[in-house]
Amino acid sequence: MKKQLNLYSLTAAAMLIANVAAAETAGTQTTSVADGKNSDDTITVTLPNLKKAAEQAKIKISGYAQAQYFYNDSKNNSANANSGFAIRRAAISVKGEISDEWSAEVGFEIDSGNKGGKLGADSSTIFVDKAIIAYKSDSGKFTAGYQKPSFVMEEYSSSKTQLCIEQSVATVYFTTLANGSLAGRHGGVWWDGKISDIKYGFAITNQYKEDINADQNDGVAFYGNVAYEWETDAARVELGINGVYNPGNDDETSGAAKRVAGNVYGLEPYMKISSGGFQAVFDGLFADGDSEVMTDSAWGLNATFAYKFDNNIEPVIRFSCLDVGDNQNIDPSKLKNVPTDGRKDYDSAQGIYIGANFYANKHIKISAGYEYTDFDGGQRDENANAFRLQLQATF
């Protein structure tokens, strides 16, 4: 006899599925429903193990690789220009979304270091990029673990989304200032929230950077950030400020292998504007501390402009300047793969980057850029030239 489904059987099956799906079942359940005419004519409904499915984490794997060619020289060391190919970065991240609230993420990165693609313990190029546990609620997001805090925009922004191939001279200086105690990766706890159009966050971290086990640290540092964002018919604007205070320690009170020699603090006001294919990013950097860390205050500025055309070509220009006052501790070696004669007595620098990105698709980006940086205040004139080509693939 040919089985026929009538309105009653369909309704009964739909109600059964809805009722059981609303409850947490212990396992797969099979139920038979008669069609009302013949007890032999039944529909068999097999339900999934909803409880087990709810307890399984969603795993997301992502990563990227950057292959780079560079030719860089400086005025007083042009005979020994650095050039060649390098795997600039290769990173992979695994994120587990345990529930709607809980997640965990671990990422690793291979970095080419200062001299090219040399891998091994002596160059410390394979490292943990991020290791965090996060809890998200309607109030905000709590994070515990190891990551970059919100200070120096080009530093804590993802390298795969940066508009310029390498960081500016101002960014590099502030990320290495006072043993890197202001920026870089730190272990700690973070809170990020939003009230209306205002974003805010704060963090308490270890003082010293790049120390996932905390065996180099003694004491904590404090970070905070707040930003106001609004959107009009023409543009989206974000205006904010990042700040950090690191109280440091000394030989008498610290048993750590590495230390932050005295207190240091930093401030970074910034603005981001986007409209169609246009982007503009401005940030100012300021840092000061006691005499054991810095003999004078330092400040820097970055201004980056980009416009992405319909053909996916994106010209980019960046202006950067840096003044370290009486510190007089900058030179071309602050820039990636740029040679130097070893003289580090310059107190200011100005740089301009001109380049373009081509987005072949959402996974492939090809970039070319030239940067000229002038260093002043030393015993003789100095400037640096850096030309780079980069191929990036993301997944």
Entry pTM: 0.82
Where residue 248 falls (left for φ over 0; alpha for ψ -120 to 50; beta otherwise) is left
In a domain, 363, yes or no: yes
Same domain, 165 and 197: yes
Same domain, 33 and 74: no
Give tens-digit pLDDT for 79-133: 889 999 988 999 999 999 999 999 999 999 987 654 444 445 444 467 899 999 9
Same domain, 172 and 31: no
Same domain, 159 and 273: yes
State the Cα–Cα distance between residues 264 and 248, nearest whole angstrom.
Answer: 7
pLDDT value at residue 186: 93
State the Cα–Cα distance between residues 32 and 9, nearest whole angstrom.
Answer: 10
In a domain, 143, yes or no: yes
Instruction: Choose the weakest-confidence range: 32-36, 183-187, 228-232.
Output: 32-36
Six-digit token string for 384: 């640096």
State the Cα–Cα distance between residues 267 and 240, nearest whole angstrom.
Answer: 11
pLDDT value at residue 257: 61
Same domain, 27 and 159: no
Same domain, 24 and 135: no
Same domain, 230 and 314: yes
In a domain, 159, yes or no: yes
Instruction: Choose the weakest-confidence range: 11-25, 138-152, 214-228, 235-249.
Output: 11-25
Query: What does the pLDDT average to over 242-263?
Result: 75
Instruction: Choose the weakest-confidence range: 3-12, 148-157, 200-209.
Output: 3-12
pLDDT band at 53 (very low <50, low <70, confident <90, very high): low
Same domain, 94 and 151: yes
State the Cα–Cα distance between residues 195 and 108, nearest whole angstrom.
Answer: 33
Query: What does the pLDDT average to over 364-390?
Result: 96
pLDDT value at residue 177: 81
pLDDT value at residue 385: 97
Same domain, 157 and 43: no
In a domain, 117, yes or no: yes
Instruction: Choose the weakest-confidence range: 56-70, 124-138, 299-313.
Output: 124-138
Same domain, 25 and 83: no
State the Cα–Cα distance between residues 213 and 146, nearest whole angstrom.
Answer: 10
Query: What does the pLDDT average to over 44-49?
Result: 62
State the Cα–Cα distance between residues 307 and 280, nearest whole angstrom.
Answer: 9
In a domain, 1, yes or no: no
Question: What DSSP character marks residue 9?
Answer: H
H-state helical runs in 184-331:
none
Residue 97 neighbours by CB under 8 Å, 6+ apart:
57, 58, 59, 60, 103
Same domain, 249 and 296: yes
State the Cα–Cα distance between residues 237 and 196, nearest whole angstrom.
Answer: 15
pLDDT at 324 over 80: yes
pLDDT value at residue 311: 97
Quickly list DSSP for 118-171.
--STTTT-EEEEEEEEEEE-SSEEEEEEEE--S-SHHHHS-GGG-SSSS--HHH
Please state, for a pLDDT cut of 90, what percent of the chain lies above it. 64
The answer to whether the beta carbons of residues 70 and 86 sit under 8 Å apart is yes
Please give the tally of structural domains in the chain. 2
More confident residue, 35 or 323: 323
pLDDT value at residue 224: 98
Same domain, 133 and 228: yes
In a domain, 299, yes or no: yes
Query: What does the pLDDT average to over 341-368?
Result: 95
More confident residue, 132 or 179: 132
In a domain, 383, yes or no: yes
pLDDT at 252 over 60: no
Matching residue, tokens 């007890």: 39
Instruction: Choose the weakest-confidence range: 17-21, 29-33, 211-215, 367-371.
Output: 17-21
Residue 25 structural domain: 7-50
pLDDT at 13 over 80: no
Q: What is the mean pLDDT of the chain?
A: 85
In a domain, 2, yes or no: no
pLDDT value at residue 10: 43
- Exposure string for 202-233, b = 16+ CB within 10 A, e = fewer: bbebbbbbbbeeeebbbbbbbbbbebeeeeee
First to last CA, the chain: 54
E strands in 294-363 = 298-307, 313-323, 348-359
Query: What does the pLDDT average to over 333-352?
Result: 91
More confident residue, 12 or 306: 306
pLDDT value at residue 183: 92
pLDDT value at residue 34: 53
Identify the CATH number of the domain in which residue 336 sits. Answer: 2.40.160.10
